[in-house]
């Protein structure tokens, strides 16, 4: 399931984070790429030695963990391997698929949190490849795109300005993407029913089914 998550970061959080990154050291992005991804990865990433790196990653993790849409759609067991990437004119990341395992965790779901406003750069679309088409995304600063880690995707060349993003991965409690989507649909219907009619017998049955499916599918 691919979806947008609006306002992951508050304006104050976004300002603080981008100001810190503006003054931080970035290194060649190839250093964190797999052997085949190195061939197509042309960007920069925040150096691990930057003193604020751990706290910046925690900011992203905290913001995603408090966002209800991300929680009910992804059901994250752990959010891991967060990287801050910078693209200036001429930089890109060619077509690739994310590694299945990172830092001892499975990558079920990928996410990109956009830190630069779309008017601050040209090009640089995050393009997700589907079975018979492609879709490009340039979201507002502070918003995130969430997509299956199984997909082929790329970042088109930036032609002007600077594209700054945070990328990361989540291992879900529910390994199967189709099962996660079913749970998301049921949760959406359950909440809608509660908002309309309160705690009804139908709401209780949906709640029972959701809880029991989660017990069955939880990994």
Structure tokens at 194: 């509660």
Could you give phi then psi for residue 180, rounded to 5 degrees?
A: -60, -40
Burial class (CB in 10 A: 0-12, 13-18, 19+), 98: buried
153 annotated binding-site participant: yes
CB 45 within 8 A of CB 31: yes
Distance CA 138, CA 124 (A): 8
Distance CA 61, CA 1 (A): 20
Helix axes 11-22, 53-66, angle to 10 degrees: 160
Any known ligand binding at 105?
Answer: no
- Residue of 4, 13, 86 whose CA lies nearest to 55: 13
Annotated ligand binding at 215? The verdict is no
Q: Which residues are annotated as a binding site?
A: 96, 98, 153, 163
Q: Which residues are annotated as a binding site for Fe cation?
A: 96, 98, 153
Q: Which residues are annotated as a binding site for 2-oxoglutarate?
A: 163
């Amino acid at each position: 399931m691919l979806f947008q998550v609006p306002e992951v970061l508050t304006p104050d959080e976004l300002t603080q984070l981008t100001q810190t990154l503006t003054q931080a050291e970035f290194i060649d992005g190839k250093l964190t790429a797999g052997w085949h991804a190195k061939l197509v990865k042309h960007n920069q990433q925040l150096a691990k030695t930057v003193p604020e790196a751990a706290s910046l990653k925690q900011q992203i993790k905290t913001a995603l963990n408090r966002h209800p849409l991300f929680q009910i759609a992804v059901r994250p067991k752990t959010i891991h391997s967060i990287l801050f990437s910078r693209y200036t004119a001429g930089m890109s990341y060619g077509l690739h698929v994310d590694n299945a395992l990172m830092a001892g965790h499975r990558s079920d779901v990928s996410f990109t949190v956009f830190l630069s406003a779309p008017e601050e750069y040209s090009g640089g679309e995050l393009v997700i490849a589907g079975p018979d088409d492609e879709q490009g995304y340039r979201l507002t600063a502070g918003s995130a795109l969430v997509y299956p880690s199984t997909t082929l995707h790329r970042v088109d060349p930036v032609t002007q300005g600077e594209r700054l993003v945070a990328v990361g991965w989540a291992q879900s409690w529910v390994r199967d993407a189709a099962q996660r989507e079913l749970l998301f649909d049921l949760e959406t219907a359950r909440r809608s029913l509660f908002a309309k009619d309160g705690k009804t017998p139908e709401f209780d049955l949906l709640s029972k089914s959701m809880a029991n499916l989660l017990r069955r599918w939880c990994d």
